[in-house]
Amino acid sequence: MLGNFTYCNPTKLYFGKDAIDSLNEELPKYGDNVLLVYGSGSIKKNGIYDKVVAALKANGKNVTEVAGVMPNPTVDKLNEGIAIAKAADAQLILAVGGGSVCDYAKALSVSINCNDDAWDKYFIRFEDVTCDIVPVGCVLTMVGTGSEMNGGAVITNHEQKLKIGHVFGDKVFPKFSILNPEFTYTLPKYQMIAGIYDIMSHILEQYFSGTDDNTSDYIMEGLLRSLIHSADIAVDNPLDYEARSNIMWIATWALNTLVAKGKTTDWMVHMIGQAVAAHTDATHGMTLAAVSMPYYRYIMPYGMDKFARYAVNVWGVSPEGKSAEQIASQGLDAMQAWMNKLGLVMNISKLGATEDMLDDIVKSTLIMSGGYKVMDADDIRAVVKASY
């Protein structure tokens, strides 16, 4: 049965080859002081930076830059950005990049006017936002996280060996997001497939929970089928616009809160993956790929019917004459074969994890309770070891 929920998605999306032109529609809505936030420079090589700066100039904005936002943005970088944004009296934060840059912009937006230590307040104590929020707009250049249409941000503290996400809520969703699939053409294959798996993981984290008849599950099966189909095409031909645009759109729907409605949701693959990243700084989607198969094989007995449904409806496994366990296992076998074909990293040792880190990775894994099994430290240790 669908539980009670509130649904609100305040982000305005502009999608397509001319989407960047909508900056001219959006920028006049905000004050003159814009904080332009981006990563290590890919946008300068592929021309996106020039397009954005031209629109900012045409709209008479005073631009202050925060460059060098790294994948898995850190708390030190966040504190640096807070100081720059305060000095510039930023009235709009414009994020141009992937999930790391969009997340960073959202973390900044709730921290600039907050007198508390942002890391402690939001990522350790998980407190609500109590200060004025600086609005955020995104120009997305990498597909996967869904950050362009949600209110979450993930920040890494290397000193504390923690990588933690906070869902800030509706008010922190980007006010607008610009999605041009062509902007993703210059992504290296490693990042493209990591993003594709991040999308799959977001869907599965929500799908593998609950036993009721929930419309969200049917939507997610459709999203997964389209993702698998489009990913195969995009890997063969990265310039296939149809495939790249489908993947971009699926990524947004996978984590813009819609399919979570009425679901308890699991998120343990992300919790273990984030603990791996806190120790290795590895690419987000790859950390998820490396722990997923051991995790799903471990919890399959606790959610057998759903795993069997997944095998049939997503991977086309024929149920004829088979037990639920046989069907479910064949579904996971098909998923694993597809992941291998895509070229995903399937072991955490290949991401820089060493044997002496494993206990610490277990310790820094947050435990969630919405999946088919509430994991304890021994369960997590078994999954982490099997991922090694």
Q: How many residues does the chain have?
A: 388
Residue 40: contacted member of ligand NZQ, Zn ion, none (CB under 5 to 8 Å, by partner type)? ligand NZQ
Q: Which residue is nearest to Zn ion (CB)?
A: 198
In the chain, beta strands by DSSP E? 12-15, 33-38, 62-66, 92-97, 136-140, 152-157, 162-167, 176-179
Residues in 160-199 at the binding interface with Zn ion, rule: CB under 5 A? 198
User: Left (φ > 0), alpha (ψ -120 to 50) or beta: where does 385 sit?
Assistant: alpha
Residues in 280-319 at the binding interface with Zn ion, rule: CB under 5 A? none
User: Token match 């919790």: residue?
Assistant: 271
Residue-wise burial string across 275-298, b where 16 or more C-beta atoms lie within 10 A, e elsewhere: bbbbbbbbbbbbbbbbbbbbbbbb
- The whole-angstrom separation of Cα 127 and Cα 328 is 40
Residue 181: contacted member of Zn ion, ligand NZQ, none (CB under 5 to 8 Å, by partner type)? none
Residue 214: contacted member of Zn ion, ligand NZQ, none (CB under 5 to 8 Å, by partner type)? none
User: Left (φ > 0), alpha (ψ -120 to 50) or beta: where does 212 sit?
Assistant: beta
Work out how close the CB of 200 gets to ligand NZQ at its nearest, in angstroms, rounded to a whole number.
11
- The whole-angstrom separation of Cα 112 and Cα 61 is 20
- The whole-angstrom separation of Cα 240 and Cα 249 is 14
Nearer to ligand NZQ, 234 or 317 (CB): 234
Nearer to ligand NZQ, 195 or 294 (CB): 195
- The whole-angstrom separation of Cα 336 and Cα 319 is 19
Q: Which stretch binds ligand NZQ (CB under 6 A): 81-89, 120-128, 146-154, 353-361?
A: 146-154
Of the residues 22, 30, 99, 135, which one makes contact with ligand NZQ according to CB under 6 A: 99
- Reported for 325-334, long-range contacts at CB under 8 A and 24+ positions apart, including other chains, are 325/301, 328/300, 328/304, 329/300, 331/307, 332/293, 332/296, 332/297, 332/300, 332/307
Nearer to Zn ion, 42 or 206 (CB): 206
Residues in 33-92 at the binding interface with ligand NZQ, rule: CB under 6 A? 39-42, 46, 71-72
Nearest to 100 by CA among 49, 44, 140, 47: 140
Residue 183: contacted member of Zn ion, ligand NZQ, none (CB under 5 to 8 Å, by partner type)? ligand NZQ
Residues in 252-281 at the binding interface with ligand NZQ, rule: CB under 6 A? 255, 270
Q: Which stretch binds ligand NZQ (CB under 6 A): 24-32, 96-104, 243-251, 289-297?
A: 96-104
Site string for ligand NZQ, 176-215 (x = CB under 6 A): -------xx-xx---x---x--x-----------------
User: Token match 């960073």: residue?
Assistant: 104
Under the binding rule (CB under 6 A), the answer on residue 152 touching ligand NZQ is yes
Q: Judged by CB under 6 A, how many residues of this single chain contact ligand NZQ?
A: 35
**Residue 320 carries which DSSP code?**
T
Work out how close the CB of 270 gets to ligand NZQ at its nearest, in angstroms, rounded to a whole number.
6
Site string for Zn ion, 196-235 (x = CB under 5 A): --x-------------------------------------
Residue 352: contacted member of Zn ion, ligand NZQ, none (CB under 5 to 8 Å, by partner type)? none
**Bridge partners of residue 157, in order along the sequence:** 162
- For ligand NZQ, the binding residues (CB under 6 A) are 39-42, 46, 71-72, 97-101, 103, 141-142, 144-147, 150, 152-154, 165, 183-184, 186-187, 191, 195, 198, 255, 270, 284-285
- For Zn ion, the binding residues (CB under 5 A) are 198
